[in-house]
Structure 1
Amino acid sequence: MICKNKAAGWLLFYLQSSRSLLEYKNHLEACYCISGKGQVLEENGAVHEIEVGTVYVLDKSDKHVLINASEEDFVLVSVFNPLLKGTEVHSLDGSVSSAY
């Protein structure tokens, strides 16, 4: 992971999961799908289909559910702004959103 202390000006992050409740209260996020198919489910019920080559951007620190919609791995590369420090941890048990 490339973090704030590396002074790159951007962060590249990799997360692999089947269903994740996510929310980035202090960061904007853009994701690029490199494998599989999935969905982004917004709090308002809107569903967005994701497949290889899709880029999606969450511009309001939106709480969302990321769902693997295929039998293969659903893999996204994420870019965050501002940069993560590198000490943040995902909580993917589903009880609360994983929030940075």
Structure 2
Amino acid sequence: MIVRHLPEAIASGRRIQSTGWESTRLVLKNDNAGFSFHITTIYRGAELPMHYRNHIESVYCISGSGEIETVADGKIYPIAPGTIYVLDQHDQHILRAETEMVMACVFNPPLHGTEVHDADGVYPLEAEAVTD
């Protein structure tokens, strides 16, 4: 059994920060669960173009508000507490935070832990593992 506590994970190497967001990775590839699980904060006013070519992501909004736009068709979907979206088609998208948003995110395949988006908004398939 794996048991972790968010405050302890935030204080460890599991907290990753980048422009417009931070993410605490609670479950990672080296946990052998078949997915990774993160609590991610999107900072107010952030506009983040992303494209998970290598991963499927599911995102549940815990708090805050914003929107997600699918680039292929320009559709915009509001995000508020209780909203879930799944990027099941490796959808290229733009995430915008009206207020600070706290999100629970699941990735398949799982992340190693140190990933940040490249210039195209993509996470690499393989990255350095977080150990703690």
TM-score, with length taken from structure 2: 0.65
Q: Which runs of no fewer than 5 residues in structure 1 stay unpaired?
A: none
Match of 1:5 in 2: 30
4+ residue segments displaced more than 4 Å: none
Matched, 1:97 2:120: yes
Match of 1:24 in 2: 52
Let me know the Cα RMSD of the aligned residues: 1.4
Of structures 1 and 2, the one scoring higher in RCO (CA 8 A, sep 6+) is 1
Q: Is the CA contact (8 Å cut-off) linking 1:63 and 1:97 kept in structure 2?
A: no
Quote the offset at 1:14 in angstroms: 2.7
1:18-57 → structure 2 map (5 Å cutoff)? 18-43=46-71, 44-57=73-86
2:94 to 65, 71, 84: 65
The separation in 1 between residues aligned to 2:98 and 2:91, in whole angstroms, is 21
Q: Which runs of no fewer than 5 residues in structure 2 stay unpaired?
A: 1-24, 124-132
The structure with the larger Rg is 2
TM-score, with length taken from structure 1: 0.84
Percent identity between the aligned chains?
Answer: 39
